[in-house]
Amino acid sequence: MPKLCWRKPVRTRDDVTTMTLCESSEEKASPTKLTAYRKAIDNLDNDRKWQTDTAVGKRIGLYKLSGELGKGNFSQVKTGYHELTKERVAIKILDKTKLTAKAKKMLSREISVMESIHHQNVIRLFEVIETYTKYYLIMEHAAAGELFKRLISEGRMHESEAKNIFSQIVLAVKHLHDRNIVHRDIKAENVFLSSRGVAKLGDFGFSITVSNNEKLETFCGSPPYAAPELFLDERYVGRPVDVWSLGVLLFFMTTATMPFLGDNMAGLRRSILAGHVNSPACMSQLLKSLIDSMLNTSPEHRFDIDQVLKSDWLREASAYQIRFNNNSVYGQWCAYPTAAGAELTDTETNARKALEGLGITEAMLDEHSSRGSRSNVVATYRIVVNRLLQQRRLMGQQHHMQHQNSTMQHPQTASGRKPTKTKSRLCAIT
Ligand SMILES: Nc1ncnc2c1ncn2[C@@H]1O[C@H](COP(=O)(O)OP(=O)(O)OP(=O)(O)O)[C@@H](O)[C@H]1O
C-alpha cells in the first residue's frame, strides 16, 4: 500500500509538493494490510489506549491533543496533531454546558462563516467534532501566534513590513465584504501569523452576513477598535465598522500605541467620538493620509475596503498580493472535494494521490463531500490540500522575501502606555 511521506519541497511539472507517495517492501508484501485511514478508524472503535486517551481528553477523533495555546471567554485552544498527516492543528474546545444562548449563536455563526470562506489569509476550519458535552473546532494552526503578541514583544513595525502584513488582512476583509460578511471584531489579537509570515484573520464569532446596506443593531467588538457610530444609540452599517477597526489596527502596527485612549469607557468614548488622531512625526505622509481616511468619524465618508486597497500607501503591496494570489492556486482552494468527473486542479490531483496513499479513495471523497467539516475524510482532504497550497505559496514567496526589508524597530510608545489585550464584547458599549 503506498504510504504518505513528507519530504523537502520538490518542484514538479504541475505543482509543488512536499508529499510524495512511496511504497515500502513490507507494504508490497502484505496486500491485505489495513490502510492508514482504516487502521485509525479501527483504533478509534477498538483500541483500548485510544479509547482511554479519548476519555481523559488526550485525543479527539483523529487528533492527538497536546499543550494549551490559550483560553477565550468560552473556550480553550489546544495544539493537536492529525494522526494521518501529522499536521499540527489548533483545536478550540467549547464546553456545551457552559455556553450561554449568545455564545451558542456566536459559535454557529463562526462555524458557518469559516465553512463558507476559503482564503489564504483566513484561518481555515478543517473539522468540527461534537460530543455529548463538547464542541471541537479543528483549525489551521498559526505557528507564529497573534500579531498582538508580536507587536507587544518587538514593538512597532517598519512601514514596509506593516504594508506586507496589512495588505494581506485587507485582502481577507475584502473577500468577506465581497461576500456580504462583516467580521466586527478586527483587532491585533485576531490576526495570526504563520511561521512564514503569512497573515491570517481569525475569530469569526461576531461575524454576520448582511444584505447590502442593511443596518445592524447589536453592538459588538472591542471598545478600543470600535467605530464612533457604535457609541451612538443608532443602528449602523456593517462594512464601515470593519474599515475603522482596520484603521486602528494599522495605527497600532506602525506605532505600537493605540490612536484613541481613555482612562475608562467614558474617556475612550469621548476620544473616539472626537476622532482626533495624533500621528507621530516619523510616520510617512501617505500612511498618515490613509489612516485619516479610515478613521473618518463619518461612516459615509470613510474609505471603503476597495479604496483602502487602492490607496497610495498600500497600492503596490496589495497589487503584489493580488497578483501573487492569482498566480498561485489559492484561488482554486476547495473546501470540498470536486465532484467525480469534474476537471481537477493540479493541487487536487496531487492531494488525491496523497489521500489514496492513506486509504482515502475517490469514492470515499464523493460520499463524504456533502458532510463538509463534519467528516474526517473531508477534513483530511482539507489538511492535505492546505499543506500543498502552503508549499506552493512558499516557493512563490521566497523570491519576493529576498527583496523585503523586514526589520522590526524597537518599541517606541509615544504615550508611554503599553496597550493591553482587549476583550471582545457583545453588549452596548455606550
Ligand atoms: N488558529 C490558531 N492558531 C494558533 N493559536 C490560536 C489559534 N486560534 C486561537 N489561538 C490562541 O488561543 C487563544 C484563545 O483563543 P480564542 O479564540 O478561544 O479566544 P480569544 O480570542 O482570546 O477570546 P474570545 O473568547 O474573546 O474570542 C488565543 O490566545 C489565541 O492566540
* Predicted ipTM of the assembly: 0.96
pLDDT-wise least confident of 3-7, 39-43, 157-161, 262-266? 3-7
The best mutation among 203, 220, 423, 426 to test binding of ligand 1, ranked by most ligand atoms within 8 Å of the C-beta, falls on 203
**pLDDT at residue 375 in the model:** 93
Straight-line distance from the first to the last Cα atom of the chain, in angstroms, rounded to the nearest whole number? 63
Ligand 1: nearest atom to the Cα of 143: 4
* Residues flanking ligand 1, CB < 6 Å: 69-75, 77, 90, 92, 123, 139-142, 145-146, 189, 192, 202-203, 205, 423-424
Side chain identity at 161, as an amino acid letter?
A: E
Q: Which of residues 213 and 366 earns the better pLDDT score? A: 366
Of the candidates 127, 417, 411, the one whose C-alpha atom is nearest the C-alpha of residue 253 is 411
Which range has the worst mean pLDDT, 110-114, 237-241, 282-286, 401-405? 401-405
Q: What pLDDT is attached to residue 424?
A: 66
> Cα separation of 272 and 289, whole Å?
18
5-9, 218-222, 275-279, 300-304: which has the highest mean pLDDT?
300-304
What's 73's DSSP letter? S
**Residue 22 — pLDDT band, cuts 50, 70, 90?**
very low
- Asked if 52 and 59 touch (Cβ cutoff 8 Å), the reply is no
Q: Tell me the residue type at 167.
A: S
What is the Å distance from ligand 1's center to 273 Cα? Answer: 29
Residue 304 annotated in active site: no
Q: Distance, CA 190 to ligand 1 centroid (Å)? A: 7
List 14, 15, 42, 185, catalytic entry: 185
92 labelled ligand-binding: yes
What are the CA-CA distances from residue 45 to residues 38, 39, 48, 72, 157 (Å)?
11, 10, 9, 32, 50
Give the helix/strand (H/E) hosting 424: none
Does the pLDDT at position 415 exceed 60? no
- pLDDT 10s digits, 93-135: 999 999 888 888 889 989 999 988 888 899 999 999 999 999 9
> Ligand 1: which of 65, 75, 123, 421 to mutate, most ligand atoms within 8 Å of CB?
75
pLDDT at 78: 96
Residue tagged 470536486 (cell numbers): 338
Pick the atom of ligand 1 nearest to 205's CA.
Answer: 27
Measuring from atom 21 of ligand 1, which residue has the nearest CA? 72
Report the candidate in 140, 168, 199 with the shortest Cα–Cα distance to residue 335: 140
Residue 93 near residue 77 (C-beta atoms within 8 A): yes
**In this model, does residue 30 exceed pLDDT 90?**
no
- Residue percentage of the chain with pLDDT more than 90: 55
Q: Mapped to the 3 state alphabet, what secondary structure does 159-206 carry?
A: HHHHHHHHHHHHHHHHHHHHCCEECCCCCHHHEEECCCCCEEECCCCC
Please give the residue that has the higher pLDDT: either 311 or 13.
311
Q: Of all atoms in ligand 1, which is nearest to the CA of residue 74?
A: 25
| Per-residue pLDDT reduced to its tens digit, 63-99 | 999 999 999 888 899 999 999 999 999 999 999 999 8
Which band of pLDDT confidence, cut at 50, 70 and 90, is reported for residue 418?
Answer: low
pTM: 0.83
Query: Is the per-residue pLDDT at 406 higher than 60?
Result: no
The pLDDT of residue 193: 95
How far is ligand 1, taken at its centre, from the CA of residue 14, in Å?
36
CA distance 8 to 391: 10
For the four alpha carbons of 136, 138, 139 and 143, in that order, the dihedral sign comes to positive
Least confident of 85-94, 166-175, 300-309, 393-402: 393-402
Rg (alpha carbons) of the chain, rounded to whole number: 23
Cα separation, 281 vs 41, in Å, equals 61
- Summarize the confidence of residues 47-52 as an average pLDDT: 91
Residue 140 β-bridge partners = 89
Atom nearest to 421 CA in ligand 1: 22
User: How many helices (H) does the chain have, and how many strands (E)?
Assistant: 14, 16
Using CA of residue 176, residue 178, residue 184, residue 187, what is the dihedral sign? positive
Residue of 132, 173, 168, 146 whose CA lies nearest to 77:
146
- Kindly report the protein residue whose alpha carbon is nearest to atom 27 of ligand 1: 72
Q: Measured in angstroms, how far is the CA atom of residue 67 from the centroid of ligand 1?
A: 13
In the three-class reduction of DSSP (H, G, I as helix; E, B as strand; rest coil), residue 375 is classed as: coil
**In terms of DSSP bridges, do strands 125-130 and 88-95 run parallel, antiparallel, or are they unpaired?**
unpaired
Amino acid (1-letter code) at residue 403? H
Residue 7 scores a pLDDT above 50: no
Q: Report CA(148)–ligand 1 centroid distance (Å).
A: 11
Backbone angles phi, psi at 265, to 5 degrees: -60, -40
